[in-house]
Each structure stands twice: as C-alpha cells, then as structure tokens.
A and B are shown apart, each in its own frame.
Chain A
C-alpha cells in the first residue's frame, strides 16, 4: 500500500512536469471547463430570475446540488480520466500489454498514467459554488457538518469513478466501449437537479441501478432541512464503496477474459 502511494506520487510528479511544459494548454483546459460549468450555473440563474422556486427547491439549494456534483466529478476528472481511453488508446493499439508485463497492479498503472489538468477548472468552480450556496442553507456549519460534506463529496467522486470503470471494462470484450461509457456518463446530467422533479422510473434508475443520484442530489439533501432524504443520504458512502467493489470485481473479470482471448 505504502509502495503504491509512493509510486502514485512519483507518477503524479511526472505528470505535473509535463503539464507545466504546456502551460498555455493547462490554462486553456482549466478555463474552458470553468466556462462550461459556468454556463450551466448561469442557466440556472437566468431561470431563477423568473421563478422563486423549482418544485419547492430554492436557487441556493439547486446551486448546492450543482456544486457537489461538480466537485465530485472533478475528483474523477483529475485522477481517473484515463478510464475514457482504455479501448482506443490502450487495448486497440496493444499498449495494454505493456501494463501486463509490469510487476504492479495493471489498474493502478493504467489510472496513474494520466493526471488530467482540465479537471482543476471543475474543482475550482465546484468549491466556489458550494461556498456560495452554503451560507444560504438553513444549517449551522460546524466541524462535523464540514467533515460529512467532505466525505460526501469524496464518495460522490468515487461513484463517478466506479460507474465509468464498470462500463470502460466492457472494452475488454468489445475493443472499445467508449460510446457506451459516454452515453451512461450523460445520465449524470439528471443528477444536477433535484431528483424529485423526475418521473418515478427515472428516480428509481438513478438511485438503485446507476446510482448517479448519490453523486449530488442525495448528499446535498442531507444538508437541506425537510428534504425528506436525510436517511437515504447517509447511504452515500456505502453506495460508493459497494459500487467500487462491484466495478473492481467486474474489471478483474474483464482482465481475465482479456488474458484468455488476447484480442
């Protein structure tokens, strides 16, 4: 474990050096993601200029949900972005073999191979949005609340990771599952708004099948009084752990299939 942490640190150091080499691109990446997130927030703002509440949710509550989604996703975007490339950059050109002849865990190696600068833009925006919304929520922020918030955000990030890992793993059987990964990822768009506005079926899907609901809405609802989801919200870290275990199990199965077909 300590060895892997040290290795990760070394990989990161190298990745950061490369990033600094392309400073212009670093800035462009961060800026563009910030702009993208900002467009989404601005949209909500415009709508709330004309209404007072959305299905019982205030502007700052929506903002808070939005902020948790953005921050959680930034964890995935910064550290686990390589998951997008499994099929077309590793398996198809045969680069994945390289990971298999190294004396370290191939998933670790694969993840550590890249650090995605652009995700920092998302992180900044997420933190800004959360801290803007926080004072407007009916809750007094103590150390405990803060700690819970951090845990929730990390859990949210790992749910994003687990879902992407699960569907990226399909690449072991079908060479490139990117279209599927991308489609599933788009489901997370639902998570930016309170799940209560959707049809029951969608709500069920995003809670128990593909748990994007736990990346933003449920964790946020924990801090919103009278939302009625406080109990469900506490499941967030458990859901995160379960999804990660499931995804990792699936990854190992994929790896086994890959080593027996070698396609």
Chain B
C-alpha cells in the first residue's frame, strides 16, 4: 500500500511540473465554457424551457457534466503507451501490480487537477454563469457518491480500452474513438432526457450513462427519490462488472505477453 501512495505522490509532483500544459488546459476549458454559454443562451433566446429544464438548470447540467467528463478518463493512455513500446514486459517484472500502480498515479493526477484546475474554474463558472447548487443537501451527498462511482467506472473503462493496444498501434485513433463514444452516450454533451426514446432505452444497457449522466442528473434534480437510488444501484453493478472484466482481459493479455512475447 505504502508504495502505491508514493506513486500517487510522485505523480502529483509530475503534474505540477508541466505548467505549460496546465495553463493550456485551463485556457481551453475556459474557451469551451464560453462556447457552451453562448450556444445555450442562443438556444434559450426564443423559449424558456426544454423538457422541463430552464436555462439555469441546463447550463448547470452542461458545465458540471463537462467537468465530470474530464475525470472519467484516466491513465489508459499511459497503459497503452507502455504496451505499445514493449515496456510492459519490463513493468511485469517489477515488484508491484502495474494496473494498481497506474490507478494510484491516476488518483494523484486527479486530486491535483481537482485542486488546481476544476475547483477554481468551477468557482468561476459558479459566479459568472448562473450555476446553481443542488436543491437538497441529500442530493448533494448522493451526487458526490455517484460521481465517485462514475469516475471509477470511467477509469476502468479507460484501462479496458487501453489493453486493446496489444492489438493495434494507432493509439490516437483508439483514444479519439473512446472519447467520441463517451461524449456520445454518457450524456456529457446534453442531458439524456433530450435524446429520442429509443436512444434512452439503449443507453440504459450501456455503462456510459453511469459515468456522467447519472451523477449530474442527481445534482440537477432530473433524477430524484427512488429513481435516483435505482440509478446509483446500477452504477454499483457496472463498477463491479467492469472491475471483473478488466481482471479477465488483463490476464488474457498477460498470456499473450508471456507466451508470444508481446
């Protein structure tokens, strides 16, 4: 355990060292918030509500979802690169579990990003963009719990996709594909209740809505009461399922490494 905490700590320092990227990222997030703000302002210029959501609720949903989406992908890229350049064989000889190490690093990354990036930017959005707080404190607590589950699901999904690097070398393509699918199905761009009926049904059977939509819908009061608890329940199921799936796929991949030498 001790060594994994150490990995997380080191990663925090690494994160702090790349300050150019930090500012680039911060600036880009600001730009995106501007685009989102003006776009939805224009959408609401001729009406006051869509599917029961007023401008305040909609912008709150979109901005919170945007921030949450930044946390649902993780160290998949690291893993994919380790696999691609063949270092995975070396990593396997080290006295730790590679996946656990990566997750520890991921936690370090995300904690730092939360403090340095998301928190100040979120405050900014809160002050300037009519973002609202959850209606009840219970909703807030449930949101936090659900968001952590969502990040867990996203992280494991990310690692699962990264293992595909054993079979392809176009990592950029893999990453773009994953990002596209997630923003598509997770409700990161727009609340799922705006989607056509069939699409909403389909996404019930996919893990993506558990990453972003469920927590943010709880935050904004789209999901309340029993509905909310059921949704969190399905998140738990997905979290466990993905955890098991990762273990299985990883052991398959390891066989490929140890038998065929990568």
Contact = CB atoms under 8 A, between A and B. Distances in A.
Interface of A: 22, 24-26, 28-29, 31-33, 35-36, 38-39, 42-43, 46-47, 49-55, 118, 179-180, 182-183, 186-187, 189-190, 193, 197-199, 202
A29 B172 contact: yes
Contact of B46 (A22, A53, A179, A197): A53
Contact-residue bracket for chain B:
35 or more
Interface string B170-198: 10111011011101100001100011100
A53 B46 CA distance: 9
B23 interface: yes
B168 A35 contact: no
Nearest to A26: B170
B42 A197 contact: yes
Contacts of A33: 173, 176
Contacts of B38: 193, 197-199, 202
A31 B168 CA distance: 14
B interface, over-half SS: helix
A118 B172 contact: yes
Given A35-B180, A39-B183, A46-B190, A189 B31 contact: yes
A182 B184 contact: no
Chain A to chain B: the 10 pairs with minimum beta-carbon distance, closest first = A179-B24, A32-B177, A25-B170, A29-B173, A197-B42, A36-B180, A35-B180, A28-B173, A32-B176, A55-B42
B32 A189 contact: yes
A209 B71 CA distance: 33
A28 B42 CA distance: 36
A182 B35 contact: no
Nearest to B24: A179
B45 interface: yes
Nearest to A174: B20
A54 B43 contact: yes
B252 interface: no
A182 B194 CA distance: 31
A50 B180 contact: no
